[in-house]
Amino acid sequence: MMCYSIPMQILWNDKEAADFGADPLALRVYTSRLLGCEPALVLHGGGNTSVKIHEKNLFGDSEHLLYVKGSGWDLATMEAKGFAPVRMDTLMRMANLERLTDADMVNVQRSAMTNPEAPAPSVEAILHAVIPFQFVDHTHADAVVAITNTPGGDGTIRKILGDKVLYIPYVMPGFVLARKVYELTRDADWKKYEGMVLLNHGIFSFADNARESYERMIRLVTKAEDFIKSKKVFDLPTAPAAQPKEDLRALAHLRREVSRKWGAPVVARLNNTPEALAYAGLPNIENLSCRGPLTPDHVIHTKRLPLVLSATASTAGMTAALATFESEYRAYFERNTTGDLKCLDPAPRWGVWPEHGVLAFGLHAKRADVVADIIRHTMKAQQWAEGMGGWVALPERDIFEVEYWELEQAKLKKGGGAPPLQGKIAIVTGAASGIGKACVEALRAQGAAVTALDINPEVTKMWKGADVLGLVCDVTNAKAIDAAIAQTVRRFGGIDIVVPNAGLFPQSKSIEAMDDDTWDRTINVNLTSQMYLLRACVPYLVLGIDPAIVAVASKNVPAPGPGAAAYSASKAGMTQLARVAALELGPKGVRVNMLHPHAVMDTGLWTAEVLEGRARNYNMTVEEYKRNNLLKVEVRSKDVADLVCAMAGPLFSKTTGAQVAVDGGSDRII
C-alpha cells in the first residue's frame, strides 16, 4: 500500500480494495490504513474509524453493531481484530443520558461488546454511533487544526469548507463531546452533510460506503491545505546548510537531569534537521512554542509546554531551566486541580534548544519517537498559523482537563511494572554473534535501548526498531570507536551500560611458536580495543543513570591453559583494566564488574567439527562434553547475557569490582 504526502491525494485503488473483499469490515480496515499511513492526518494511535453492521448472534437474532477502532490500535496497521463490536442500542441509550462519567461510559461500552476479547472501544464510540452513516472517519488533520487555531479560525474554516460541514465548538472528548453533538444535531438533516469539524480538535467525514467516506475526508482536508498554500506559508523555512552546534556532553547532562525530574531513566532524541533548526531559531520561539499543543489529545504525550533553553546554556543553566519548568508546571497544576488529582511528574516531554535543534523525551525509545513525530507536526502547524494571523491554542484549563482526564488518572492508579532496564542506554561490542548478540537481545528485552557494534556488516541488518542501532565498527580503531559513541549519544541521549565483549580466540600455539602477528592482533582486539571503548564512554557514563560496565572476560583469567598465551594474557589484561576502572570510576558512581564465561558452545567458535573433536579427546559424547562441569549443565550465550543484564541492573547496584564465573562450576577455579 502506497502512502502519500502533501499535497494529499486520493489513494483508493480498486485492485487493492478488491483484495480486501466486499465485506464492510474488511473495507473499513482498508480505508483505515489509507488514512493511517498519512501522518498529516493521524499520528500514533490518533484518530478513529468505525462501521455499522447488522450481525446475527448465537441465538439467530440480528443485532445492530458499531465496529469502532479499539484502544491501543494504530490506523496505519489496522486489522479486523483491532475493532471493538459494540451494540448500537446501548450506545444510543447512553447518548440520551444527560450525565455520565467517562469511567462509567467505558464500563458500559465494555459490557455492551459482543466479543469480550476485543480491545476496549474508543472513547468516541458514542459519537460514532450518533452519526447516522454506516462509515465514519475521524482524523486530527494538521491543516484543519492549524486553521482553527488562529484568530477567527471558526469563521475561516467555515468559509473554506462550506455548508456541507457541521461545525462544533471545542468540547472535552468523551461523553461530554458525544452528548453535545447529539444535542446540536438531534433535528439536523444529516443527508445535507459530508463532514463535521470539531474546532481545535479534528475533523470527521461520513458516508454509507467506505470509499466515499474516505474520499470525503481527503477532499475536505485538501481544501484546508489549498487555503494555507494561498497564504504563501505552506513551504516552511529551513536553516542554512551550516552544521548545527553540537555539545553531546551537555545533551547527556540534560537527559540525566530530565530523568531525575521524571523519576526514571529516559531516552532523549535530538532533531537537528534544517527544519528543526529553523524552528528553534525563530525570534519569538519561546513565546510561540509555549502557547499550547496542536490539539488537546497530544498533551498526554507532550505536556502543555516545552522546556526552552538558550543557545549557549551551560549545564548549570540547563539545570536551572529545568527547575523553572518544574516550578511552573506545579503552579499550573495548582491553578487547575480540583483537589482530588495526583500531580504528574514535572519533567518536560520536549524541548527547544536554539542552534542545536528540538528535543523529545520518552521512557523508552519508541515513546520518544512518538513525541518527536508529534512535535514535527506541531512545528509545522504553528508556523502555518503564525503566517495566517497567529497561533492561538486552547486555554490552559481545556488542556489541563485532557492531561488530567479521569481515564488517564485511572491508568496511573493501575500502574504496572516497567522492565528493569527501561530507559537505559547500552553499548555492546562484538554484537553480531554469540554472547554479544545474546546481550543485545537480552538488554532490549529488559527495556534498554542498545547500540550494537561489530566489524561484521550484517550487524546493521540484524535488528529493527526504535530501540536499537547497529553500527559497523572496527574496535581496534580508536577513531571508529569515538564516532560510534558520539552516534549513540546523538541517537539516544547518553550512555548508561557498556558491555566490552568483542574478542578473538586465535589458533592454539605454544609460547615458543607464537608469531608476532597472532600476538599483536589478539592483544589489540582483546585488550587495547577495550581501553579505547572505556576511554570514549567514561565522559558519558559519569553522566548516566546508575551507570555500569560489565566486561566479558574469560575462565582463562583465573585458570589459563597451555597453548593459549595470547588469549589468556589479553583477557587477564582486560580484567586488570576493568579492575582499575572500578577503582577510578567508583567514586563517580560507575560500577565495573567482570564475567568469566567458559565453554559457551552456541557461538561461532564451536563448530560441529570442533565439538566432536573435543568430545572425542575426552572420550565423551558431544552432549556430555557440553555439560563437562560440576553442575552438569550447558552454558549458553543467553545465560551469560542474562547475568550481564543482572549486573547492569538494580540487583548489583551496590557491587563493583566483582569477578563472577559463568561456567557451571570448574574444579580448576574452585
Q: Give the pLDDT confidence score for residue 409 in this predicted structure.
A: 64
Cα atoms found within 13 Å of the Cα of residue 94, Cβ hemisphere only: 32
Q: What is the rounded distance in angstroms from the CA atom of residue 523 to the CA atom of residue 22?
A: 67
Report the predicted TM-score, pTM, of the whole model to 2 decimal places: 0.92
Strand-pair partners of 70: 121
User: Which amino acid, 71?
Assistant: S
Distance CA 68, CA 122 (A): 7
What pLDDT shows up at residue 410?
63
- Per-residue confidence (pLDDT) for residue 412, from 0 to 100: 53
At residue 254, what is the residue type?
L
The chain-wide mean pLDDT, for the chain, equals: 93
Residue 492 phi/psi, 5-degree rounding, is -120, -15
> Residue 52 pLDDT more than 60?
yes
For 171-212, how does the pLDDT look when each residue is reduced to its tens digit (9 = 90+)? 998 999 999 999 999 889 999 999 999 999 999 999 999 999
> What pLDDT does 156 receive?
97
C-alpha cell at 97: 443520558
For position 415, what pLDDT does the model report? 55
Higher pLDDT, 615 or 572: 572
Comparing 113-127, 231-245, 357-371, 558-572, the range with the smallest average pLDDT is 231-245
> What H or E segment, with its residue span, contains residue 227?
helix 210-230
* pLDDT the model gives residue 436: 96
Closest CA to 166 of 209, 123, 204, 212: 204
Q: Residue 414: what pLDDT? A: 58
Q: Per the structure block, which three cell numbers stand in for 385?
A: 498559523
Name which of 3-7, 304-308, 432-436 the model is least confident about: 3-7
Is the pLDDT at 6 greater than 60? The verdict is no
Mention every residue, 6+ apart, whose C-beta is less than 8 A from residue 562: 510
Question: Which helix (H) or strand (E) element contains residue 573?
Answer: helix 565-585
Q: Looking at 341-350, 418-427, 599-608, which range is the least confident one?
A: 599-608
| Region 273-286 average pLDDT | 94
* pLDDT for position 396: 95
Rg (CA), the chain: 29
∠ CA(353), CA(546), CA(452), 5° rounding? Answer: 75
pLDDT > 70: percent of the chain: 97
Q: Which helix (H) or strand (E) holds 156?
A: helix 153-161
Strands (E), 185-230: 195-198, 202-207
Q: Is the model's pLDDT at 4 over the cut of 60?
A: no
Share of the chain above pLDDT 90, in %: 84
Residue 517 clears pLDDT 80, i.e. is over it: yes
Cis amide bond preceding 348, omega within 30: no
- Catalytic residues, by residue number, are 567
Q: Is the per-residue pLDDT at 77 higher than 90?
A: yes
Residue 72 confidence (pLDDT) = 85
Flag whether pLDDT at 66 surpasses 80: yes
Mean pLDDT of all residues in 602-609: 78
Per-residue model confidence (pLDDT) at position 1 = 52
**How many CB atoms sit inside 10 A of residue 340's CB?**
6
**pLDDT tens per residue, range 427-458:** 999 999 999 999 999 999 999 999 999 999 99
